[in-house]
Structure 1
């Protein structure tokens, strides 16, 4: 898409949407191109917290060289329990140019990483595509992983068709009331995330590892099991089984721990129990899902 000019064209389309920002479902209308910060706290200037080979992602994304992870600053969802709150909400990060980001991608490739993994990309999707275009002109050949909270406008995801190789969305909440309570009034999270995930699947299909064990294309869904089932785990897993192929990759995540503002909410101010995680796995199996990444209870 770089050679045809389509990548640059899509990047410009996304860039223009920042003039009265509507990149994410909040559609806050911030004049980001004039330097105003949106609800996500991002302006027109790219901010990056860190980049490095990451060996803690799903095994098919890691291989021996690691996932080439770029942690972007700020976030449109702003969860009270965010484990990376210093980056997503605490202002951690440094202003970078698009050329800087392209350099990071190429360095990660040179270091032996097996993909480029952009974390919390929604509010910087235009910047990512511009940097990707620069990097592609200089020899970047790695798959792109779009590592997102899941709350994405389907019409924006459509602009990533043919650009993103692996979609890695969270599906956090089944109930809009819970999403609103814990994620800054994002009450549309369940419905919009469902639409976005269906569009992601339309583009890249089921994620299946190649002969070398690595994932190069496909949809990989994450679901974080929460205390007291505030996320609606059973309903989410049933929806996936009913609306996507049964062999859709689903990572049932057990690593929730209370941090940031979670202690202000007694119902989520603890880790999950072994029984809660076991129940989540059983619900997935009962729903007929066959491609589960089961972590076990930490």
Structure 2
């Protein structure tokens, strides 16, 4: 395939068994782990956990990525489309509250084939970095019930510096609007999100203004109850981190961000304790469940 699935539009030749492009992956799926994941937002976890499938590769190059072994390090195991479908079924059989597809964009055609035509008994969640192509999202309509995008940046400076994507907001904003067009306002049943958009934002140390601009866009774009918003504090310095990224978010920074969120009228969502900035909340990518 000549790949145009994401905003990089790199046109790499990705064969089923030959990697290429910014994501560094072949066209056939590569998976690092499948598991019941209990560290997503409560509305996705339920009683037993979200049925997370961690795909390898990523179209972003975030210097602070906590999943770097799979996003940039090549860890993962190739699987066939029939096996991927079996993995989905196994997670549902284990009691997963949803199918949580983590960093799936570069495998969208294979994932659509694995999902098939019939509806699944739990919501399908598209858990992505927000740097999405509207045309690829349009191909998912009717197959994805919950979109779980990051909105990492509203400012081009940190987007370019930390993720090699200065055009991030210009791509992410219309992508999120397309997600909302497909799902409509959030629909909850018994405390679980059945359809809708849940936007995540990770507060970075020293980048409070970027967070404020993200919150401004959400508050100015959506009505109360349209989307959920998760303000995350779990940034953890990675090996070799320097400058602002060499430390964790301070209590004062997170308090200021949470207060700004509330003052902007965003009350539908989640905030985190600073104790969530722990390495043990990142799974071991040991190829289990594959």
Same fold flag (TM > 0.5): yes
Distance 1:231 1:186, change over 3 A: farther
Is 1:206–1:249's contact at 8 Å kept on the other side of the alignment?
A: no
Q: Separation in 2 of the partners of 1:44 and 1:153?
A: 17
TM-score for both structures, normalised by structure 1: 0.88
- Look up the match of 1:11: none
- By how many angstroms is 1:231 displaced? 6.9
**RMSD (Å), alpha carbons:** 1.5
- Look up the match of 1:229: 207
- Look up the match of 1:278: 255
Q: Separation in 1 of the partners of 2:13 and 2:270?
A: 41
- The SS at the match of 2:7 is coil
Cα distance per residue 1:144-188 (max 9 Å; x no partner): 0000000001121112111110000000011122111111x2111
- By how many angstroms is 1:292 displaced? 2.6
Distance 1:39 1:76, change over 3 A: same
- Look up the match of 2:146: 166
1:294 pairs with one of 242, 249, 271: 271
- Look up the match of 1:9: none
Q: Which aligned pairs between 1:78-89 and structure 2 lie closer than 5 A?
A: 78-89=61-72
Is 2:155–2:213's contact at 8 Å kept on the other side of the alignment?
A: no
Instruction: List alignment gaps of at least 5 residues for structure 1.
Output: 1-18
- Look up the match of 1:152: 132
Deviates more, 1:227-236 or 1:248-257: 227-236
- The SS at the match of 1:209 is strand
Cα distance per residue 1:172-219 (max 9 Å; x no partner): 011122111111x21110111011011111111222421x21111010
Q: Which aligned pairs between 1:6-155 and structure 2 lie closer than 5 A?
A: 19-33=1-15, 35-133=18-116, 140-155=120-135
- Look up the match of 2:161: 181
Is 1:72–1:119's contact at 8 Å kept on the other side of the alignment?
A: yes
Instruction: List alignment gaps of at least 5 residues for structure 2.
Output: 276-290
The higher-RCO structure (CA 8 Å, 6+ apart) is 2
- By how many angstroms is 1:230 displaced? 6.2
Structure ranking higher in helix proportion:
1
Deviates more, 1:154-163 or 1:192-201: 154-163
Is 1:85–1:260's contact at 8 Å kept on the other side of the alignment?
A: no
- Look up the match of 1:268: 245
Distance 1:295 1:36, change over 3 A: closer
Q: Separation in 2 of the partners of 1:244 and 1:50?
A: 34
